């Protein structure tokens, strides 16, 4: 069986391995240079942008020289999906397309064993490739994380556990779609579309609700910079705005009315707001929730993948294919 799986899927595995290898080497080279901008290591500068002179200079150079890479990487959250879907789509669909399922399942290997070995092998390759890719990417992003935290969309979705979960999700959708549609290419497309939809819903609606966000409120300082974030640099701010002295949140219109009033009175806005007891509030998830959130999101996607694989196993077992 091992030889058969290798022979049938070696093209996909080689192409994906090559891609991951090339990206990995490029990231290692660029990443080494980016890390060298921080003599004491990027972690020492965490949150020190604007405070520590050396760190501020390092961050500025990081942005100038490697900012473009970070922007490119924002699209890399799709790489795990490509890996998973590319390996999952042909698993059953190609056999059904070519009629070779009738060949494969009439040899002496019972179909359930055939399916179990195939699923385990290809899901294993999916995890291994995504794992390597994510490990390199997570390391590459260390200087950027020290600057911006790990809760932004271009960090959270690329680091830690969730990319592997995304890949398994795509693998599950592609395998199930292949079993039902009996075509590889549409199955690949379905996996891609399903991931984009699921990830958007999760990132916008579910992720902020994994835990109850914290709220801080502080009075507006007379001399402070306007719109200074209330939460820490690495925290994930869900919402921030202004509240009156009683703590009631102001609508945008109410705030603009205050701004106009300050303009008309010809006073400094901060002083104007401070005098009226207006406070700033921030709703946020603290940075140390990163791993909790990673676990929850990974579990969510892996659970859906497991259900879809369960459907495939059930269909093959009941001989509905």
Residue numbers at the binding site for other proteins (CB under 8 A): 1, 3-4, 7-8, 98-112, 318-319
Q: Which is nearer to other proteins, 15 or 75 (CB)?
A: 15
Euclidean distance between CA atoms 276 and 285, whole angstroms? 29
Minimum CB distance to other proteins, residue 10 (Å): 10
Minimum CB distance to other proteins, residue 3 (Å): 6
Q: Which is nearer to other proteins, 184 or 294 (CB)?
A: 184
Residue 188 CA: distances (Å) to CA of 115, 192, 208: 19, 6, 29
Minimum CB distance to other proteins, residue 111 (Å): 7
Task: Report helix angle 290-317 to 111-140, nearest 10.
Answer: 160
Residue 127 CA: distances (Å) to CA of 79, 102, 152, 301: 12, 29, 24, 13
Minimum CB distance to other proteins, residue 128 (Å): 23
Of the CA atoms within 13 Å of residue 256, those in its CB half-sphere come to 3
Q: Which is nearer to other proteins, 8 or 130 (CB)?
A: 8
Minimum CB distance to other proteins, residue 99 (Å): 4
Phi-psi bin for 314: left (phi > 0), alpha (psi -120 to 50), beta?
alpha
Q: Which is nearer to other proteins, 264 or 318 (CB)?
A: 318
Q: Which is nearer to other proteins, 101 or 151 (CB)?
A: 101
Q: Which is nearer to other proteins, 66 or 101 (CB)?
A: 101
Q: Chain-centre distance of CA 258, in angstroms?
A: 39
Q: Is the dihedral of CA 145, 150, 156, 162 positive or negative?
A: positive
Q: Note whether 37 and 143 are within 8 A (CB).
A: yes
Minimum CB distance to other proteins, residue 103 (Å): 5
Minimum CB distance to other proteins, residue 6 (Å): 11
Minimum CB distance to other proteins, residue 155 (Å): 41
Q: Which long-range contacts (CB under 8 A, 24 or more apart) does 196-203 make?
A: 198/169, 198/301, 198/304, 199/77, 199/157, 199/166, 202/297, 202/300, 202/301, 203/153, 203/157
Helices (H) and strands (E) in the chain, counts: 12, 3
Q: Note whether 243 and 249 are within 8 A (CB).
A: yes
Q: Which is nearer to other proteins, 7 or 248 (CB)?
A: 7
Residue 254 CA: distances (Å) to CA of 241, 260, 262: 11, 10, 13
Q: Which is nearer to other proteins, 26 or 103 (CB)?
A: 103
């Amino acid at each position: 069986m091992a030889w058969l799986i290798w022979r049938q899927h070696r093209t996909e595995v080689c192409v994906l391995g090559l891609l991951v290898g090339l990206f990995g080497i490029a990231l290692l080279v660029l990443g080494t240079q980016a890390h060298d901008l921080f003599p004491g290591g990027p972690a020492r500068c965490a949150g020190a942008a604007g405070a520590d002179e050396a760190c501020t200079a390092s961050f500025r150079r990081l942005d100038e020289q490697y900012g473009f890479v970070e922007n490119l990487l924002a699209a890399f959250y799709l790489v795990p999906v490509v890996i998973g879907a590319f390996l999952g789509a042909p698993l059953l669909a190609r056999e059904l397309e070519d009629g070779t399922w009738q060949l494969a399942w009439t040899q002496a290997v019972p179909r359930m064993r055939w399916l179990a070995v195939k699923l385990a092998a290809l899901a294993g390759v999916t995890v291994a490739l995504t794992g390597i890719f994510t490990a390199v990417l997570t390391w590459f992003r260390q200087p950027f994380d020290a600057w911006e935290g790990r809760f932004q969309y271009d960090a959270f979705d690329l680091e830690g556990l969730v990319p592997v979960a995304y890949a398994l999700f795509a693998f599950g959708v592609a395998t199930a779609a292949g079993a039902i549609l009996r075509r590889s290419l549409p199955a690949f497309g379905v996996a891609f579309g399903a991931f984009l939809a699921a990830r958007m819903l999760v990132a916008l609606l579910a992720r902020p609700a994994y835990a109850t966000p914290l709220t801080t409120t502080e009075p507006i300082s007379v001399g402070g910079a306007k719109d200074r974030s209330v939460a820490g640099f690495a925290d994930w701010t869900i919402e921030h705005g202004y509240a009156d002295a009683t703590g009631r949140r102001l609508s945008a219109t109410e705030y603009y009315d205050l701004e106009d009033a300050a303009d008309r009175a010809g006073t400094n806005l901060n002083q104007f707001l401070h005098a009226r007891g207006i406070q700033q509030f921030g709703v946020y998830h603290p940075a140390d929730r990163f791993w909790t959130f990673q676990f929850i999101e990974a579990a969510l996607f892996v659970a859906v993948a497991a259900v879809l694989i369960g459907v495939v196993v059930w269909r093959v077992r009941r001989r509905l294919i």
